[in-house]
Structure 1
């Protein structure tokens, strides 16, 4: 004997917001890639194990940070160039109080996207 089905309209279905759904670990739909995911990618594409790939990624990041601290530019072929730029002292306004303040001169890291990457985005 077949069971009779109830009409679906008796109770409205609860809507779940799509943006708040928790992404699965390692999902490609995430907007940010973590260092551990980069390490996994390096380990998968090379003959290195995860510890060796982690050491390689950490060494590369240390070399980039060291060069930037030394005032050098870092060129990453196919990605772009990281460089250190001086910022001038300027006058700003404190939010909420509208008080004028002086923002001191400093340094910031700039990134210029490679033309090959820019063309493919």
Structure 2
């Protein structure tokens, strides 16, 4: 699991992509867009509960330490390299995840929609044009 920073409008209006990948397939299994709070992490955790995950690999952010069972939680860079690479890909594909450009978000709803569409397209092969 990891969280990725972005913003809407101004840098003070931070928006975070919380996501989890399957370590063996490198596929996003769940994601939440929100603030960098325990509440946003708990939303992600709720989405992951039905999957019966036995081990969580994260960085040292406090929300993970406070909310994951110690025996299932491993902190460190060794097993988070795949998700960090995925973060880099997302930043490359969607510039609004990196900095203010001509394509930055002015509305949280648009910001979340664009990121959600990318994840659905890249990770799950869902083509929104197929539904028109």
TM-score range, shorter chain: under 0.3
**TM-score, length-normalised on structure 1?**
0.24
Larger Rg computed on CA atoms: 1
* Structure possessing the higher relative contact order (Cα contacts under 8 Å, 6 or more residues apart): 2
Would you tell me which structure has more helix in proportion to its own residues? 2
Question: TM-score by structure 2 length?
Answer: 0.22
